[in-house]
Structures are given as structure tokens and as C-alpha cells.
Amino acid sequence: MPLPLYQQVKDHVLTRIRSGEWLPGARVPSEHELVRELNVSRMTANRALRELMRTGVLSRVAGVGTFVADFKAAGHPLQIRNIAEEIRSRGHTHHAQVISLQPIVATREVSERLSLSRDEVQVFHSLLVHFEQGRPVQVEDRYVNPTVAPDYLQVPLDRVTPNEYLMEVAPLQRVEHTVRAVIPPATIASRLELSASEPALLIERVTWSRGARASYALLYHPGSSFELRGGFDA
Amino acid sequence: MPLPLYQQVKDHVLTRIRSGEWLPGARVPSEHELVRELNVSRMTANRALRELMRTGVLSRVAGVGTFVADFKAAGHPLQIRNIAEEIRSRGHTHHAQVISLQPIVATREVSERLSLSRDEVQVFHSLLVHFEQGRPVQVEDRYVNPTVAPDYLQVPLDRVTPNEYLMEVAPLQRVEHTVRAVIPPATIASRLELSASEPALLIERVTWSRGARASYALLYHPGSSFELRGGFDA
DNA sequence: AAGTGGTCTAGACCACTGT
DNA sequence: CAGTGGTCTAGACCACTTT
């Protein structure tokens, strides 16, 4: 089952933009041209270009044409990066403690987040604590789709973070996160050296790779000492 | 020149969600039903519903139907500058309550955030509560640089949000955010209808305009029902 | 079997910009 | 004028879930 046609058209355009073949400001083929070049209907070409405009990749002017947008609003407003890299970029030491790494039977919650059918109930689970300058800054509770990373249980997670490993074996295609303020469960709180009723910042993250959901992670940070930063320049 | 048909269909749906006629979880007319009821083609109905799904207003399941999305599927306050617009785009009602609007003498903290020299100690302060479907979703504690917006105290903030006004008089140049989990001060907690020790998500935001710092805002959201969402597609 | 959303086509009319 | 994007239609086929 191939990708939808409009998605193939989007990929066709994105590939040429990413390769540098079409630079910002360059003209993109018109809908009629795409119809001829790719053998799709105009509605399909229109949907592809319209969606790329909506996400800021292209800019269109009726009566004129379609153009590669300038990259200014590039950065994701909510920058959530690899924690190890982020800590090191601040000039601090990072180390990780592996609490557990094993196959488990997925709970319904996990199964839903990873969109697993009822038979593929086995997933890989890892629980890590990340330290910055010796202080705990993140508890990482992660569920990995075995189909995407079959060798996950053999990875030395104290040396290579789950994120780094997954990025290597499975090209990152899509990320979704939600951020909330919560009072963490006691088991998590103690790992973060938080007293009861101290809040934590919880980042829930789902990643996609090769069209499938690759992993689901719950990232807990002490509310008092952890900040998420973002912003942009116009 | 009437609105495009697909936009009219979107409005038709949004109106019924806003009025409470269609509650979260309720079934929305199928594409075929909209075709019959509104005399549009199925592609037009499809586009309307698809776009409402992308913005999180509806959720669709192939083979089953289209439904009003759950209430708390919150938006992207880090990406969008205007909470009122954000709430309305989800098909919900917004209103704001102005608690206070007056000049104050800047504390050292505020003065630092706005990079004011020692003589410019006077700043404008506003305190608002934003409501979504009648429930408080944000307490906005804002400090405005009088040099940038000298008429701020005359603005009807219940009709025009501070953000909307500032965007109008002072072109937005730069934004910086930090996000933390906190236990809010009691005065804030009560405005959000939170009990003691319930966590809140605190967004601190500084904006720049014409090279100067324009405003400093503390945005508190209930941790239990508010989510920050982000992500990207590769 | 009937209904749903997901996609796709081959046309069409329009307002607009550039030459 | 020919070209562009913006919209719209009336069909169509498919995979899927519900009855």
C-alpha cells in the first residue's frame, strides 16, 4: 500500500527543497505543471501545495505562482532536544543510570499510544534517570516498538541515550509532544529527589519512524529547577 | 463575495459546537449527510471536516464517523500569540475578566526583565483571567513598557486581549519563553479554581519590539486540564 | 449489506496578475 | 492575452467498522 498521491507530491517537493535544488524564493512548479509532470489530477497537486503552504514551507500568490518560503520561522517554538546533548552544551556533566531495561506486556495505554494491534502486546521498556552535575534532572520512562528497534534490549543505555540510539537505527519522521504540570507518582518523585506535592514538568512524546510509531516516552523533570525554553525572531 | 463554501461548512459546525448544541464526544453529521443538508459536494464537506480535524476541533475515524474532540485537547500557546484566537479556533467561547489595570512602580524583578534604567521605574500592569467555555484557563499577569505602548491603560482589555493590542501598536520582533511547573501563589490558584498544592504550568514570556523590550508576562495555566502541544513533521 | 472516511479524477468557473 | 491559484462539482474506488 503506497503512500497517498498527495503525500508523494509533497515528498517530491520537500526532497528538492531539502537537497538545496530549490532555494528559498525559487519558483515551484505550478499546479498544471505538476499535473503534467507527475500524472496526478489538479486537485491532488492543489492539496499537496496547499498543505505545504499551511505548514510554512511554501508561499503562494494567486495569479503569480508558488515559491519556496524563507526559513525564518524555522525553529520549533518548543525546543525539546536530546537531554544529554543539552546538558553538555551547557558545559555540565551528564550521566545516566539505567533502572530497568526489559521486555514487558504493553498496558492498554501504552498499546494505544504506539497503535499496536492486540497481538503485538510485547514492547521494550526502559527506565532511566539522567543526572546533570550529579543531580537528577529527568526520569525517562520509555516504551519502544520492537518492530522498529529489535535490538533495543542490547543497547548500553548508560553510554548511548535512547534518543541517540533510536535516531540512529530509525530515521525520525515525526514528533508529537504534550507538556503538562503534574504531581508525579511517588516512585518517580523519589528518583527526582522531590518531596511529596512538589510539581514536575511532564513531557509526553511520541515519535514516528518509517510510517510507524517508534516510541512513547514520559519525561519527568523537577518543576523547581527545570525550564523549557523557546522563542523566535521575526 | 460570500465566504468560500467549505468555510461556511466549517462555521456551520463551529457554531453548533460553540453554542453547546454539539458537546465533546457527540457525533457530527457524516460527509454524506452534510452533502444533503447543506447542498454542497462531498469534496467540499470533506475539506471542511478535514481542516477542523487538523486544528483539533474534531476527531475522525474511518468507517465509524466524525466526533467533537475532547475539551482539553489544548493548543499551542508557545506557537500562537493570542489565547483568545486559539480558543476560538477550537470552536470554544472565550471571554476575559480584567482584574486590574494600572500604573505601578516596577519591582527589581520586573525592571530587570524589561531592561529598564533606574529612572523609568513606572510600568503598566494588567491582571486578566481568560475563560474557555466559562472555565478559567489562564491567569495573565503582564507588565508593559510605557515607552512602547503609552496608551495601554486606555485599552478595553476585555474586548481586545493585551497581545492583540500590543501586536497592533508595536510590531513583534522577538519572543522568549520559559516553561515551568509550579505551585502557584494562592491568589493565582483561586483565580484558576485550583486547590492548594495543585500544580500549574507557568509560561514566562518576554517580547521585543523596535529593539526594546515591550512586555513581560507570567501566564499561569491549570496543570490538570491544560496541555501544551507541539511537534513537527519531517 | 450499509455506512463511513480516505483518496482521486476530469472537468469547470472565477478573480487575479503579468505581458 | 495566457497563466496562476482558489474553489467547486459529481462522480468513482477503496478499506474499514458496524449491524
Residue from B212, B89, B7, B201 nearest A180 by CA:
B201
Is the pLDDT confidence value at B87 over 90?
no
B139 at A interface, C-beta within 8 A: no
What pLDDT score does A230 carry?
55
Structure confidence at residue B187 (pLDDT): 96
Protein residue closest via CA to C1' of D2: A63
Mean pLDDT over the full length of chain A: 83
Q: What is the CA radius of gyration of chain A?
A: 21
- For residues B226 and B201, is the Cβ–Cβ distance under 8 A? yes
Residue B80 pLDDT more than 80?
Answer: no
B172: pLDDT confidence band, cut at 50, 70 and 90?
low
A104: its cell numbers: 514487558
Distance CA A139, CA A158 (A): 13
Average pLDDT score over residue span B54-67: 86
Q: What angle do CA B146, B200, B25 make, to 5 degrees?
A: 110
CB pairs under 8 A between A and B: 115
Distance CA A192, CA A185 (A): 11
Rounded to the nearest integer, the mean pLDDT of chain B is 84
Long-range contacts of A67-75 (CB under 8 A, 24+ apart): A67/A25, A67/A26, A67/A27, A67/A28, A68/A17, A68/A22, A68/A23, A68/A24, A68/A25, A68/A26, A68/A28, A69/A24, A70/A24, A70/A25, A71/A24, A72/A232, A72/A233, A72/A234, A73/A232, A75/A230, A75/A232
* Domains present along chain A, CATH in parentheses: 5-68 (1.10.10.10), 83-222 (3.40.1410.10)
pLDDT digits (tens, 9 = 90+) for B14-38: 888 878 889 888 999 999 999 999 9
pLDDT tens by residue, A77-108: 555 667 887 777 566 788 999 999 999 998 88
- Cell numbers 485550583 label which residue? B194
Asked if the model's pLDDT at residue A146 lies above 70, the reply is: yes
Q: What is the pLDDT of residue A58?
A: 86
Least-confidence region, from A50-59, B132-141, B196-205: A50-59
Contact B230 A177 (CB under 8 A): yes
**Chain A contact for B230, CB < 8 A?**
yes
Asked if B181 lies within 8 A of A181 by C-beta distance, the reply is yes
Q: B120 falls in which pLDDT band (50, 70, 90)?
A: low
Q: How far is A4 from chain B (nearest CA, A)?
A: 15
Query: Which residue would you say has higher pLDDT here, B54 or A71?
Result: B54
In 3D, which of A147, A96, A95 has the Cα closest to residue A124? A147
Q: Which of A69-83, A123-137, B138-152, B199-213 has the lowest mean pLDDT?
A: A69-83
pLDDT at position B209 is 77
- Distance between CA atoms of A41 and A43, rounded to whole angstroms? 5
Question: Which residue, A228, A229, A226, is CA-closest to A199?
Answer: A226
Helix or strand run (H / E) with residue A156: none
Question: What confidence score (pLDDT) does residue B37 get?
Answer: 92
Average pLDDT over residues A156-170: 86
Per-residue pLDDT for A54 more than 90? no
Residues 28-47 of chain B sitting with CB below 7 angstroms of strand C: 28, 30-33, 42-43, 46
Residue with cell 503534574: A182
Is A176 within 8 Å of B230 when comparing Cβ atoms? yes
Q: What is the dihedral of CA B79, B81, B82, B88, to 10 degrees?
A: -20
Q: Could you tell me what percent of chain A has a pLDDT over 70?
A: 84
User: Hey, what long-range contacts does B80-85 have (CB within 8 A, 24 or more apart)?
Assistant: B81/B163, B81/B167, B81/B172, B81/B175, B82/B161, B82/B163, B82/B164, B82/B167, B83/B130, B83/B137, B83/B138, B83/B140, B83/B161, B83/B163, B84/B130, B84/B161, B84/B164
pLDDT of residue A92: 73
Residue A28's nearest nucleotide, by CA–C1', is: D4
- Residue B53, chain A, CB below 8 Å: the answer is no
The single residue listed with the C-alpha cell 516504551 is A143
Percent residues over pLDDT 90 in chain B: 44
| Cβ–Cβ under 8 Å, residues A188 and A139 | yes
B217: its cell numbers: 508576562
